[in-house]
Amino acid sequence: MSILIADDEVDIRNLVKLSLEEDGYTVATAGNGKEALHILMNQEIVLAILDINMPVMDGFTVLLKLREHSTIPVIFLTARSDEQDKVLGLGLGADDYLSKPFSISELVARVGAQLRRSNEYLSKPTTILRYGELTIDKERCCAYKDGTALELGAKEYKLLVHFMENPERVFTKRQLYQAVWDEENYYDDNTVMVHMSRLRSRIEEDSHRPHYLQTIRGIGYKLDNQGRR
């Protein structure tokens, strides 16, 4: 799990990265808002430090999209010191706001304080699952692909959760039925195939050439995005 620093100024990214790493953190970096959002969607990030005036996508927009599926702490680190910008940033869901020029020791202290308060930093079972472009918020029972909500039935949602909790593991149809339908002594081969087909139609661009849900002939299925053709 990492902290993300997103800023279009290379010197600031490097300074913050070095300081956080010296304090024992793992750090990911991004030079624009679109790159930052991609990292937030596809990596285990526990806190984000965002500039507001970034190219491609500004920090406010990144925060809005992030808050659709995540409650991780966000600190704005920006040259925009106007009170209205601060009020707007905090109103959109930011947890802290630090204006440039800034004290690096103060920023590191604020990072530590936010992580101590963050539920996602505590040692408890995570409610967020991520795999490639897929994200599941188990607390809200919501699934997303590249930030867009997926319309899934109850069984398709449970199937996807089961696969994302066990990526790259092969499951037989019987195992899937027992896990999702919670029946030990009975299973319906056709029912599993029908719901797998429905799930594929929601998450795959082409269900005949799946990127995520791979069929292992004669055995069953697995979630594996290395199978793209």
| Mean pLDDT score across all residues of the chain | 89
Helix (H, G, I), strand (E, B) or coil at 6: strand
CATH of the domain spanning 2-121: 3.40.50.2300
Q: Could you say which DSSP state residue 116 is in? A: H
pLDDT at 1: 66
- In the chain, the percentage of residues whose pLDDT exceeds 90 is 63
Alpha-carbon dihedral sign for residues 82, 83, 86, 91: negative
| Domain residue extents for the chain | 2-121, 133-227
pLDDT at 82 over 80: no
Q: Which CATH class is domain 133-227?
A: mainly alpha
Residue 149: in which H helix or E strand, if any? strand 148-149
Taking the whole predicted model, whether its pTM rises above 0.75 is answered as no
Looking at the DSSP bridge assignments, the partners of residue 220 are 172, 216
